[in-house]
Homo-oligomer: A and B are copies of this chain.
Amino acid sequence: MAPAKYVYDFDEGDASLKKLLGGKGSNLAEMTRLGLPVPPGFTITTEACNYCYQEGKYPDGLQEEIEQHLQNLERKMGKKLGNPGDPLLVSVRSGAAISMPGMMDTVLNLGLNDQSVQGLASLTGDERFAYDAYRRFITMFSDIVMGVDREFYENELNRKKSELGIKLDVEMDATAWKELVSRFKEITLEHAGRDFPSDPREQLDLAIQAVFKSWDSDRAKTYRRQYDIPDDLGTAVNVQSMVFGNKGEDSATGVCFTRNPSTGEARRFGEYLTNAQGEDVVAGIRTPNTLEELGGEMSEPYEQLTQVMDKLEQHYRDMQDIEFTIEQGKLFMLQTRTGKRTAAAALKIAVDMVGEGLINEEEAVGRVQPEQLDQLLHPRLDPDAEYDVIARGLPASPGAAVGEVVFDADTAEMRGSRGENVILVRWETTPDDIHGIINAKGVLTSHGGMTSHAAVVARGMGKPCICGAEAINIQQAERIFEINGLVVREGETITIDGATGRVILGEVKLIEPKVDENLEKVLAWADKLRRLGVRTNADSPEDSQRARDFGAEGIGLCRIEHMLFGEERLPIVRRMILAESDEGREEALMELEPLLRRDFEGILEIMDGLPVTIRLLDPPLHEFLPSLGDLRVELEKLKHVPGERDELEAKERLLARVRAESEANPMLGLRGCRVGCTMGGVTEMQVRAIIKAACDLKKRGKDPRVEIMIPLVAFRKELEIERNKVVEVADGVIEAMQTDLEYLVGTMIELPRAALTADQIAELADFFSFGTNDLTQTTLGFSRDDAEAKFLTLYLEQGILADNPFETLDIEGVGKLVRMACELGRGTSPDIKLGICGEHGGDPRSIQFCHEVGLNYVSCSPFRVPLARLAAAHAAMGGASDATK
């Protein structure tokens, strides 16, 4: 076996060696290979890092290889590292295959010491430049390699400046820098317990070891664990000869993009600073010039740069983010990588590049990140606007809205229906507030979590909502809310950003969403690639239409309960629940039936020819009732009002009934199929309404495709009882209406027991739909509302959780159950239809999982349908693209 090779000269590698040389190193090698002006250097491989990580020492031969490559470099440059007369200076930078916070940053100007700094000064004829470089080096090296806090040096610099009565670094002269350099070395000695190393060779060794050690840092390890990056990926180390953009007015340093990363426009874009080093651009003290201006200032290197940019984009076949330095009129390339971009830019670039013949359609699809689309499909804050955030809450429903504060639903309805923009602000909302929510532009609550009433209703309506903004203290009686002393009155304008949970005083300009041509093209290409179907969660004709416009291929979840919260319906539902006789209940059910039937007809007509999965009533019934606590308080109040005997008695009766319905843990209580199994008539009414609506359409020549879904099944027998009821009622209606409607009956898999016994349950189910919201709650033992209000944030901060499991499916736990259920279900019934209707159906990483386990479709809210189409294509292409890595 040939001895391992641990060090590559830039002219030995290429872009294909990304894993071995890291992103930075492989691209430097590739640019060198392309003949571009890259300052020479070499890369120590990730394998060397891995060896050090595992064995705690350099592999055999590494030291010698470094020595050899350094000599090589010195020969090439005609200089020696830290030579007192004409020193070779180098930068040392880490570079893993995946960019990773926690890894060692850059050390510039390595090779300087008390001797070589003089060589640099005399060579450049610029003592100030040389000592400025030296003090920068001492600061960086001490901070990054020797672990001395940068702040000590900054403080010393500031002390010096105030001593000299100056304000800007540029005002510091050579003498001042020189004095500071010796002070800096004292600081290092004091805090690191050793002298600043003056031997350039030792400096280099220590810097390389620091890069390797940073792979083992807690921050890097935590990051890797969270993002599932293997520990044996390792980082490379790049040692590169320095070039200086701060060697006078013919020198410059800058960053440029081959296309506009913000709009995607096919024009070069960039910024630079004359007479500056890289870190000055980042520090943002001086305002950089635009790339165009460089043409006027230094036309030759500019011409050369534009050619390099074009060449790199053509070569990499993607928009490039490039670092360059011009040293005394000569252009050097320091880095190139695929550029990050906004959603709009990603779409435009992808479509343009297909048009230019640079990439094909599949590549174009891979270049757009599904997560990014979310920002395009809701109104959002103008990114150029300035504003003050007065409070933060949970980002319960995305989109931004501007309106005047109102504190009750009636006012919201009154003013909203007149066309005024209002934001409904409540402690929390109840079904009684529904008419207010409908007529408001957005909802803000100080209480409740991501599945609180306000959140669920607002998401369903695609309306912005912030929940649980606990800093907001609502004083309903005074019609104000107060945040740390700031008082906001009814009628004042606020802006809410439901995507981030920010509450803003005053009006912020909003940007309206649109599905533009580029998005349509990319989605059409995505549709050709994906295997997963994409349906939507919709409970109204309006939502159904919107989802179909966004490309939904049916409804995966239509929630009957959402149809019952309406202002005229709620009282009927309450009568149904509180009925003291079967007749009373039947009467209320009879009233509800035609109302639901009308809704179903509307939805099924819009979804003509596409499957519509309708879930029977799911929530605990007391969600439809007034709050027990409120009732008790009202009753106590009434006792102190003379002469309200009748009302008091009525309230007492109501209280007794509400108390009887109340539950300790409603999420795990009498809900879902348990209601159907124990309360006669409820399932039957729903099925009649659905099937009659479908038969009506069938008679009108339409093609309704009904799938009736039974929720919260834990036992085969529950499904048997409910399925039998559904079939009996449905077949009766179909016969009576003389049609030949076909329909499916299936179940949610949303309890661990259902997943564990899916083989038995599949005997009676035409389809499974994974209700991963509830499945997550029960598998993890997390009540979503409580977890999000109480400990989820802390859990994410502490790294107990890498992601919010209600947003991204917990693949190790919940995913294991989903996988089991798929296998068990298909074992019983190979053709069983499998889908997902939890909110994970709109999350790209979860969609990837759904693809892998072989689901037939995902279902998500209308606004996320485009995102899901794209994510499904990515999944089919073998995982997320690396466009933005």
Q: List residues of chain A with CB under 8 Å of any chain B CB.
A: 628-629, 632-633, 636-637, 640, 663-670, 674, 677-678, 712, 714-715, 717-718, 721, 750-753, 756-757, 760, 774, 777-783, 785-787, 790-791, 794-795, 798-801, 810, 812-814, 816-817
Residue pairs across A and B with Cβ atoms less than 8 A apart, 5 shown, are: A629-B629, A636-B637, A640-B640, A666-B786, A778-B778
CB pair B629–A663 under 8 Å, yes or no, is no
**CB of A806, distance to nearest CB on chain B (Å):** 13
CB pair B666–A801 under 8 Å, yes or no, is no
Most buried by B among A665, A715, A790, A791: A665
Q: What CA separation (Å) do A781 and B749 show in the bound complex?
A: 12
List of B residues within 8 angstroms of A717 by Cβ: 798-801
List of B residues within 8 angstroms of A665 by Cβ: 665-668, 783, 785-786
List of B residues within 8 angstroms of A813 by Cβ: 714, 752-753, 756-757
Given A665-B783, A669-B790, A721-B798, 14 more A-B residue pairs with CB atoms under 8 Å apart are A629-B632, A632-B633, A633-B633, A636-B637, A640-B640, A668-B787, A677-B791, A677-B798, A678-B794, A712-B781, A752-B779, A753-B813, A757-B812, A757-B816
**CB of A723, distance to nearest CB on chain B (Å):** 13
CB pair A779–B753 under 8 Å, yes or no, is yes
List of B residues within 8 angstroms of A677 by Cβ: 791, 794-795, 798, 800
Q: Which residue of B lies closest to A659 (CB)?
A: B447
List of B residues within 8 angstroms of A668 by Cβ: 665, 667-668, 777-778, 781-783, 786-787
Given contacts A668-B667, A715-B800, contact A674 B791 (CB under 8 A): yes
List of B residues within 8 angstroms of A787 by Cβ: 668-669
Q: What CA separation (Å) do A790 and B674 show in the bound complex?
A: 10
CB pair B664–A664 under 8 Å, yes or no, is no
Most buried by B among A781, A783, A816: A781
List of B residues within 8 angstroms of A757 by Cβ: 812-813, 816
**CB of A756, distance to nearest CB on chain B (Å):** 5
Q: What CA separation (Å) do A777 and B667 show in the bound complex?
A: 11
Q: Which residue of B lies closest to A668 (CB)?
A: B783
Across the interface, A670 reaches (CB within 8 A) one of B715, B791, B798, namely B791
Across the interface, A786 reaches (CB within 8 A) one of B663, B714, B750, B756, namely B663
Given contacts A674-B791, A800-B721, contact A783 B669 (CB under 8 A): yes
**CB of A781, distance to nearest CB on chain B (Å):** 4
List of B residues within 8 angstroms of A812 by Cβ: 756-757, 760
List of B residues within 8 angstroms of A794 by Cβ: 677-678
Across the interface, A779 reaches (CB within 8 A) one of B712, B778, B780, B800, namely B778
Q: What CA separation (Å) do A790 and B786 show in the bound complex?
A: 23
Q: Which residue of B lies closest to A664 (CB)?
A: B785
CB pair A817–B752 under 8 Å, yes or no, is yes
CB pair A666–B663 under 8 Å, yes or no, is no
**CB of A660, distance to nearest CB on chain B (Å):** 8
Given contacts A721-B800, A791-B678, contact A781 B636 (CB under 8 A): no
Q: What CA separation (Å) do A668 and B774 show in the bound complex?
A: 12
Across the interface, A714 reaches (CB within 8 A) one of B636, B781, B817, namely B781
Q: What CA separation (Å) do A629 and B631 show in the bound complex?
A: 10
Across the interface, A780 reaches (CB within 8 A) one of B640, B663, B667, B753, namely B753
CB pair B669–A800 under 8 Å, yes or no, is no
Q: What CA separation (Å) do A812 and B714 show in the bound complex?
A: 11
List of B residues within 8 angstroms of A798 by Cβ: 677, 717, 721
Q: What CA separation (Å) do A750 and B795 show in the bound complex?
A: 19
List of B residues within 8 angstroms of A667 by Cβ: 664-665, 668, 781, 783
CB pair A756–B817 under 8 Å, yes or no, is yes
List of B residues within 8 angstroms of A777 by Cβ: 668
List of B residues within 8 angstroms of A670 by Cβ: 786, 790-791
List of B residues within 8 angstroms of A640 by Cβ: 640
CB pair B751–A780 under 8 Å, yes or no, is yes
List of B residues within 8 angstroms of A751 by Cβ: 779-781
List of B residues within 8 angstroms of A782 by Cβ: 668, 714
List of B residues within 8 angstroms of A800 by Cβ: 677, 715, 717-718, 721
List of B residues within 8 angstroms of A750 by Cβ: 781
List of B residues within 8 angstroms of A801 by Cβ: 715, 717
List of B residues within 8 angstroms of A715 by Cβ: 800-801
**CB of A580, distance to nearest CB on chain B (Å):** 15
Q: What CA separation (Å) do A395 and B800 show in the bound complex?
A: 41
Q: What CA separation (Å) do A476 and B573 show in the bound complex?
A: 33
**CB of A111, distance to nearest CB on chain B (Å):** 44
Q: Which residue of B lies closest to A785 (CB)?
A: B664
List of B residues within 8 angstroms of A774 by Cβ: 781
User: Which A-B residue pairs are the 7 nearest by beta carbons?
Assistant: A665-B783, A668-B783, A753-B813, A669-B786, A636-B636, A751-B781, A752-B752
**CB of A14, distance to nearest CB on chain B (Å):** 40
**CB of A879, distance to nearest CB on chain B (Å):** 23
**CB of A253, distance to nearest CB on chain B (Å):** 43
List of B residues within 8 angstroms of A636 by Cβ: 633, 636-637
List of B residues within 8 angstroms of A633 by Cβ: 632-633, 636
Q: What CA separation (Å) do A669 and B668 show in the bound complex?
A: 13
**CB of A229, distance to nearest CB on chain B (Å):** 17
Q: Which residue of B lies closest to A751 (CB)?
A: B781
Q: Which residue of B lies closest to A713 (CB)?
A: B781
Q: What CA separation (Å) do A794 and B676 show in the bound complex?
A: 12
Q: Which residue of B lies closest to A448 (CB)?
A: B664
List of B residues within 8 angstroms of A799 by Cβ: 717
CB pair A781–B795 under 8 Å, yes or no, is no
**CB of A133, distance to nearest CB on chain B (Å):** 45
Q: What CA separation (Å) do A666 and B787 show in the bound complex?
A: 10
Q: Which residue of B lies closest to A712 (CB)?
A: B781
List of B residues within 8 angstroms of A663 by Cβ: 783, 785-786, 790
Q: What CA separation (Å) do A665 and B786 show in the bound complex?
A: 7
Given contacts A778-B781, A783-B663, A791-B678, contact A814 B669 (CB under 8 A): no
Q: What CA separation (Å) do A487 and B347 show in the bound complex?
A: 78
Q: Which residue of B lies closest to A660 (CB)?
A: B470
Q: What CA separation (Å) do A787 and B674 show in the bound complex?
A: 10
Q: What CA separation (Å) do A664 and B790 show in the bound complex?
A: 11
Q: Which residue of B lies closest to A782 (CB)?
A: B668
List of B residues within 8 angstroms of A816 by Cβ: 756-757
List of B residues within 8 angstroms of A756 by Cβ: 779, 812-813, 816-817
**CB of A747, distance to nearest CB on chain B (Å):** 13
List of B residues within 8 angstroms of A664 by Cβ: 666-667, 783, 785-786
Q: What CA separation (Å) do A753 and B805 show in the bound complex?
A: 12
Q: Which residue of B lies closest to A760 (CB)?
A: B812
Q: What CA separation (Å) do A801 and B786 show in the bound complex?
A: 30
Q: What CA separation (Å) do A789 and B172 show in the bound complex?
A: 81
Q: What CA separation (Å) do A668 and B810 show in the bound complex?
A: 17
Q: Which residue of B lies closest to A635 (CB)?
A: B633
Q: What CA separation (Å) do A632 and B637 show in the bound complex?
A: 11
**CB of A473, distance to nearest CB on chain B (Å):** 10
Q: What CA separation (Å) do A801 and B674 show in the bound complex?
A: 12
Q: What CA separation (Å) do A666 and B783 show in the bound complex?
A: 8
Q: What CA separation (Å) do A751 and B752 show in the bound complex?
A: 10
**CB of A393, distance to nearest CB on chain B (Å):** 15
List of B residues within 8 angstroms of A785 by Cβ: 663-665
Q: What CA separation (Å) do A783 and B670 show in the bound complex?
A: 9
List of B residues within 8 angstroms of A778 by Cβ: 668, 752, 778-779, 781
Q: What CA separation (Å) do A663 and B449 show in the bound complex?
A: 11
Q: What CA separation (Å) do A810 and B783 show in the bound complex?
A: 23
Q: What CA separation (Å) do A813 and B665 show in the bound complex?
A: 21
Q: What CA separation (Å) do A790 and B672 show in the bound complex?
A: 13
